[in-house]
Amino acid sequence: MLPKVEALQTDDNHGFIYRKFQQKTFPFVWHIHRELELTWIATGKGNRYVGDHVEPFTENDLVLLGSNLPHTWHSLPMKKSVESVVIQFSPQFTGEAFESLPEMRRVTRLLKRCRSGLAFSGPTAIEAGKQMQAMEQMPPMQRLTTFLNLLDR
C-alpha cells in the first residue's frame, strides 16, 4: 500500500508544527511527509508502523522520524481516549549556519541518525513527554528553546 502524502506547512509565527491529539483511537493512516517528526504517546497502546518495521507501542512511546519515512500508529480499542503530542519540522529547520555551531553538533548528529527512525524509552521518553506537553502553554521563543533542548537531550 502506498502512503498518503501529507503537505504540512508552518504558519508565519512558528518554525515548526506543534500538535496535540486526543481522540478515541489512533486510526491506521499510512502516510508520509517531507518534515521530520517527533511523536510522544501520552496514552494508548497498539502497533507502530515505521518504514518496513512494526513494533508494539504503549504510553511514553517516543520516536523521532526522518524525512519522507512512511509511518502510522494504530491503537487497540480502549475505554479511555488516546493522546499524543507531535512536533513536525523541516529538514532545513536548523540551517547550515546553525548546524556549524559547536553547540549544535549533537543535534546535527541526531537529525542525521533518524533517517530510518529512532525510538527512545525509559526516563528519557518520560521527561521528553512532560516537556512536550508543557510546550502547549509556552510563548513561541520558549517553545523553540525547549524544542532545541529536547533534541539536544
120-146, pLDDT tens digit by residue?
Answer: 999 999 999 999 999 999 998 999 999
pLDDT in tens, 7-65: 887 776 678 999 999 999 999 999 999 999 999 999 999 999 999 999 999 999 999 99
Mapped onto helix, strand or coil, the DSSP state of residue 108 is helix
In this prediction, residue 117 has a pLDDT band, given cuts at 50, 70 and 90, of very high
In this prediction, residue 92 has a pLDDT band, given cuts at 50, 70 and 90, of confident
120: phi then psi, degrees, rounded to nearest 5: -125, 150
Predicted confidence at residue 15, as pLDDT, reads: 85
Q: What is the rounded CA–CA span in Å between residue 6 and residue 70? A: 10
Q: Are 72 and 49 in contact (CB under 8 A)?
A: yes
Q: What is the rounded CA–CA span in Å between residue 93 and residue 53? A: 26
5: phi then psi, degrees, rounded to nearest 5: -90, 125
Nine-digit cell string for 80: 479511555
Predicted confidence at residue 99, as pLDDT, reads: 84
Q: Can you give the pTM of this predicted structure?
A: 0.93
Give the other-Cβ count within 10 Å of 130's Cβ. Answer: 13
Mapped onto helix, strand or coil, the DSSP state of residue 46 is strand
Q: How far is CA 49 from CA 52, 70, 104, in A?
A: 7, 8, 30
pLDDT in tens, 62-91: 999 999 999 999 998 888 899 999 999 998
The number of angstroms, rounded, from the C-alpha of 79 to the middle of its chain's C-alpha atoms is: 25
